[in-house]
Amino acid sequence: MTDATISTGQRLRRSLGSHEAILFVILVIALIVLDQLTDRFFTTSNLLNQGRLMTEVALVALPMTYIIITGGIDLSVGSTLGLCAIVLGVTWQNVGLPLELAVVVALATGALAGFMNGWFITRVRVPPLIMTLATLALYRGLAEGISEARSVRGYPEGFYILGQGEVLGVPTQLWILLVAMIVFWVVLEKTTFGRALYAIGHNETAARFSGIPVDRIKLIIYTASGLMAGLSAVIFVSRVTTTRSDMGTGLELDVIAAVVLGGTSIFGGVGTITGTIIGFVLIQLLKNGLALTGVKGDATIIVIGSVLILSILITTLLERRRSRD
Amino acid sequence: MTPATATLPPERPVFDRVRRLFGSQEAVLFLALILLFTIVGSYNERYVADRNLSSIFLGNAYIAVAAIGMSMVIISGNIDISVGSLIGVLATISGTLAVEGYGIVTAWVVPIICSVVFTSITGALVAYLRMPAIVVTLGMLSILKGGLISVTDGAWINNLPEGYGLAQLKPLGIPMPIYFMVVLTILAALWMRYTAAGRAIYAVGGNPEAARLSGISRERTIMMVFAVHGVFTGIAAVLFATQFQTIQSTVPPNLELIIITASVVGGVSILGGTGTVIGSTLAAILLAAIGSALIFIDVSAYWLRAVQGVLILLTVLADLERRRRQRKAL
């Protein structure tokens, strides 16, 4: 408001650039420090293995970035992952479908779960936070009910290629993640669909009046969120060779932390896929590096929480100073 | 509730008031609770037996107490998703103090003070540095949870001293947590309705700009809300810690979601500005009563969460529909 000469877009781009720059600096410092502390960290095999562990959160973080840019949120992703994992196991083992078909059913379940969120959010106008809070309970409940606390094991050997195998020396799921990152980046940066997401996040009413099909777009991104949670579920099951109804518990917080750490504003209108990528890479490397230097697994989340608060704090303070100038 | 009622002659204030009463979320929840007890009770008498009723109230009063503070936070337009982790940490502090022989009163009071200090830090970050509450409390959640587990390894705290069990006391035959729940709900409801500070919470959450123009400080109000929220969280943690002979020093899973759900089902709008703590307390009881009822009508334990999820969704939809009609009737 004080600097009328600078357009909103320019100011946004600058603040965004600065947040990503801060993150990048934190990332580099973390890498250097961790490399000094242990020689097991900066090895190709360790880094690739970390990529493997990161994929499930990363895949869901991509559509979550879209959703948060529009000013929404999806808390049900962890439960959707659990539900899809159970559907995969049950349709394969109990219903007896071929595994390929079971995977398709699991993905469809994820998409349907996301579609249901989107439908209620756009048609019935339930606030996203409440809708996905309710389905967080509902989808996890369905997973528990369908599975009756039984786990499914003994998948055919070929299925494990997805979660444990390698293609050209790189973990299979990293190729999937790479494709997903490119697709989500291109759609957000280069298409009208991507621009519309920012428009909705900035001012939904204005977006509606300028003819943007707001409801359809929201329906698509919530469905995409469910679908990606389903994809994560399939990879997760393949990686850990078993299906349990509590899979993905708390995933939503890891995903939101990665997205927000990456500079996407929880108020909507601001955010990039690049930021989100730095976000989930930073979180995974911090977790791993600290674990390698002897920090207990649970203590690493203290560091992640602190980094999250600090990075937003620094951005907020810089933003303030700039708007005062 | 049709649009025609808007043209009712003004000389029927009693009718109007009754209509408004039944149009409130609190009344809907109260009726739902009565219906639940009547229907499930007639199906299975053991559901309304003293023992089960007291376990419903006793085991969940601390959730209702925490939901009072949460409701204030949400009404002010914020949220606190670190509350479950905070309760876990405070319960551990309380238990440790008691076992280490610092005296029972110390073990009851110190966690409440710690709670206020902690939520005030969160409040300061949200109010003065204008950081989004969901992000700050997400970070706090990680810090508290990680801190607790790495310090204690989730160990059980046993050998709690005689007289520590505040939640196990039964003055006049009624369990202590129920007194806390009822008295704190009434006090909070009166405070929010009849004092300037209480009204300010609604103003800041409902229309920050109007609040500012009428001289209400956003910063001070949000700071106050988080500090008061800390008092309720602290009391909830002490009730939680003292209910059994032992305390596990971990974060109770999903506790923050249960508390937020109670607030939201109780009619607190997640967008801020509306809702009451009476609603959130009734909702906390209703959610617990539903969970218990499902067992008595022989729903498989595996399906409990799914049915609860559907019911939460239905409550939210009913509330939206009611609000929509009310808006039309205006």
Q: What is the pLDDT of residues B202-224, one digit of tens each?
A: 888 888 888 888 888 888 999 99
Chain A positions in Cβ-Cβ contact with residue B270 (cut-off 8 Å): 127, 129-130
Per-residue pLDDT, B199: 87
φ/ψ of A206, rounded to 5, equals: -60, -40
What total number of domains does chain B contain? 1
Answer whether A140 sits within 8 Å of B309, measured CB to CB.
yes
Chain B positions in Cβ-Cβ contact with residue A282 (cut-off 8 Å): none
Paired tokens of B298: 């022989």
Angle (CA) B146-B151-B155 rounded to 5° is: 105
Averaging pLDDT over each range in A11-15, A78-82, A136-140, which range is the top one?
Answer: A78-82
Gap between the Cα atoms of A170 and A235, Å rounded:
15
How distant is the Cα of A55 from the closest Cα of chain B, in angstroms?
21
CA distances in angstroms from B198 to A109, B194, B281, listed in the order given: 46, 7, 18
Query: Helices A273-292 and A251-261: crossing angle, nearest 10°?
Result: 120
Please report the ipTM that was assigned to this predicted complex.
0.76
Answer whether B138 sits within 8 Å of A145, measured CB to CB.
no
A75, A86, A148, A302, best to mutate vs chain B, most B CBs in 10 Å: A302
Q: Which of residues 227-256 of A touch B (CB under 8 A)?
A: 249, 253, 256
A19, A74, A120, A308, best to mutate vs chain B, most B CBs in 10 Å: A308
Name A166's bridge partners. Answer: A171
A64, A68, A265, A312, best to mutate vs chain B, most B CBs in 10 Å: A312
* Residue B99: pLDDT over 60: yes
B25, B305, B315, best to mutate vs chain A, most A CBs in 10 Å: B305
- Give CA A124 to chain center in angstroms: 26
Mean pLDDT score, B237-263: 84
Gap between the Cα atoms of A238 and A155, Å rounded:
8
Mean pLDDT score, B134-154: 85
Confidence of residue B226 (pLDDT cuts 50, 70, 90): very high
Per-residue pLDDT, B22: 58
Answer whether B150 sits within 8 Å of A316, measured CB to CB.
no
Gap between the Cα atoms of B183 and B177, Å rounded:
10
Answer whether A306 sits within 8 Å of B136, measured CB to CB.
no
Gap between the Cα atoms of A278 and A19, Å rounded:
11
Paired tokens of A20: 């990503």
Mean pLDDT score, A12-24: 66
Answer whether B143 sits within 8 Å of A305, measured CB to CB.
yes
Find the CB nearest A134 among B130, B132, B313. B313
- Is the Cβ of A7 closer than 8 Å to some Cβ of chain B? no
Find the CB nearest A301 among B131, B135, B146. B146
- Is the Cβ of A291 closer than 8 Å to some Cβ of chain B? no
pLDDT tens figures, A233-289: 999 999 888 888 888 887 888 898 899 888 888 888 888 999 999 999 988 888 888
Environment class of B3 (CB within 10 Å of its CB; exposed 0-12, middle 13-18, buried 19+): exposed
The full set of domains in chain A, from first to last, is 18-324 (1.10.3470)
B164 vs B23 pLDDT, higher one: B164
For residue B294, tell me if it sits in a domain: yes
Residue of A nearest to B303 (CA): A145
Find the CB nearest B307 among A127, A141, A305. A141
**Residue A158 has what DSSP assignment?**
G
Find the CB nearest A304 among B136, B142, B320. B142
Answer whether B313 sits within 8 Å of A138, measured CB to CB.
yes
Gap between the Cα atoms of A189 and A183, Å rounded:
10
Residue of A nearest to B271 (CA): A127
Range of the domain at B223: 49-322
Chain A positions in Cβ-Cβ contact with residue B303 (cut-off 8 Å): 141, 144-145
Q: With contact defined as beta carbons under 8 Å apart, do B25 and B319 qualify?
A: yes
Confidence of residue A27 (pLDDT cuts 50, 70, 90): confident
Find the CB nearest B302 among A149, A267, A302. A149
A81 vs A12 pLDDT, higher one: A81
Q: Which of residues 33-92 of B touch A (CB under 8 A)?
A: 81
**Residue A297 has what DSSP assignment?**
T
Residue of B nearest to A304 (CA): B142
Query: Could you tell me whether strands B156-157 and B247-248 are parallel, antiparallel, or unpaired per DSSP bridges?
Result: antiparallel
* Residue B7: pLDDT over 60: no
Mean pLDDT score, A39-63: 87
Q: Which residues contact A265 (CB under 8 A, 6 or more apart)?
A: A68, A271, B132
Least confident of A232-236, B137-141, B254-258: B254-258
Per-residue pLDDT, A36: 84
For residue B83, tell me if it sits in a domain: yes
Query: Helices B50-75 and B83-99: crossing angle, nearest 10°?
Result: 120
Per-residue pLDDT, B216: 85
- Is the Cβ of A130 closer than 8 Å to some Cβ of chain B? yes
For residue B18, tell me if it sits in a domain: no
How distant is the Cα of A308 from the closest Cα of chain B, in angstroms?
6
Mean pLDDT score, B140-154: 84
- Per the document, the length of chain B is 330
Confidence of residue B13 (pLDDT cuts 50, 70, 90): low
Secondary structure of residue B247 in the 3-state scheme: strand
* Interface contacts A/B by beta carbons within 8 Å: 138
* Residue B136: pLDDT over 80: yes
Mean pLDDT score, B241-255: 81
Per-residue pLDDT, A116: 96
Gap between the Cα atoms of B138 and A190, Å rounded:
32
How distant is the Cα of B134 from the closest Cα of chain A, in angstroms?
8
Q: With contact defined as beta carbons under 8 Å apart, do B62 and B243 qualify?
A: yes
- Is the Cβ of A123 closer than 8 Å to some Cβ of chain B? no
Name B248's bridge partners. Answer: B156
Up-side HSE of residue A98: CA atoms within 13 Å toward CB?
3
Mean pLDDT score, B28-54: 82
Averaging pLDDT over each range in A89-98, A196-205, A220-229, B29-38, which range is the top one?
Answer: A220-229
Per-residue pLDDT, B8: 47
Alpha helix (H) ranges present in B100-175? Answer: 104-127, 133-152
For residue B25, tell me if it sits in a domain: no
Mean pLDDT score, A106-130: 93
Maximum pairwise Cα distance, chain B = 68
Angle (CA) A267-A268-A270 rounded to 5° is: 115
- Residue labelled with tokens 């990665």: A258
Mean pLDDT score, A147-172: 83
CATH of residue B188: 1.10.3470
Per-residue pLDDT, B17: 61
Mean pLDDT score, A111-138: 91
- Is the Cβ of B101 closer than 8 Å to some Cβ of chain A? no
For residue B158, tell me if it sits in a domain: yes
Average pLDDT of chain A, as a whole number: 86
For residue B33, tell me if it sits in a domain: no
- Say what percent of chain B tops pLDDT 70: 92
How distant is the Cα of B241 from the closest Cα of chain A, in angstroms?
22
Residue of A nearest to B151 (CA): A299
* Residue B282: pLDDT over 80: yes
Other beta carbons within 10 angstroms of residue B323's beta carbon come to 15
Nearest one of A272, A273, A302, A274 to A286, comparing CA atoms: A302
For residue B93, tell me if it sits in a domain: yes
φ/ψ of A166, rounded to 5, equals: -130, 150
DSSP B23-84: TSHHHHHHHHHHHHHHHHHHH-GGGGSHHHHHHHHHHHHHHHHHHHHHHHHHHTT---TTHH
Find the CB nearest B131 among A140, A302, A313. A313
Name B247's bridge partners. Answer: B157
Handedness of CA A143, A149, A150, A155 (dihedral sign): positive
* Residue A12: pLDDT over 80: no
Name A170's bridge partners. Answer: A167
Q: Which residues contact A160 (CB under 8 A, 6 or more apart)?
A: A238, A241
For residue B13, tell me if it sits in a domain: no
- Is the Cβ of A133 closer than 8 Å to some Cβ of chain B? yes
Mean pLDDT score, A204-217: 92
Confidence of residue A1 (pLDDT cuts 50, 70, 90): very low
Chain A positions in Cβ-Cβ contact with residue B149 (cut-off 8 Å): 298-299
Residue type for A21, please? A
Find the CB nearest A305 among B140, B300, B305. B140
